[in-house]
Amino acid sequence: MKFALTAELIAEARQFELRSACGDCMYWSAARETCWHDWPDIGQRRWPLDAPDPVTGAVPVDVAFCKEFELR
C-alpha cells in the first residue's frame, strides 16, 4: 500500500520509532538481501522513510507499507 510521504508522517515515524521496512521484518533474509516470499521490496525496503534513492539521489515522494510485514 502506498501513501504520500508527508512531513507529518516522517516526524511521527521518528517520534514513535516506527518500524515498517523489510530490514525489521521477520520475512527478510539479510543473507539473500531479499524477501523470503520474493515480494518486490522496492519502496518498503527503504529506511529511513525519507532516505534518498541510492542511485539517483532523488528524494522520495511516497512510501510503501507491506501488508505482510511482521516485526522481527
Count of residues touching ligand SF4 (by CB under 6 A): 12
* 63: nearest Cα among 24, 22, 16: 22
CB of 22 to ligand SF4, least distance (A): 3
Of residues 63 and 66, the one with the C-beta less far from ligand SF4 = 66
Tell me how crowded residue 66 is: count the other CB atoms within 10 A of its CB. 20
Q: Which of 37, 51, 62, 72 binds ligand SF4 (CB under 6 A)?
A: 37
DSSP H or E run through 29: strand 28-29
- Contacting residue, 9, 10, 18, 39, with ligand SF4 by CB under 6 A: 39
Look up residue 12 and give its three cell numbers. 511521527
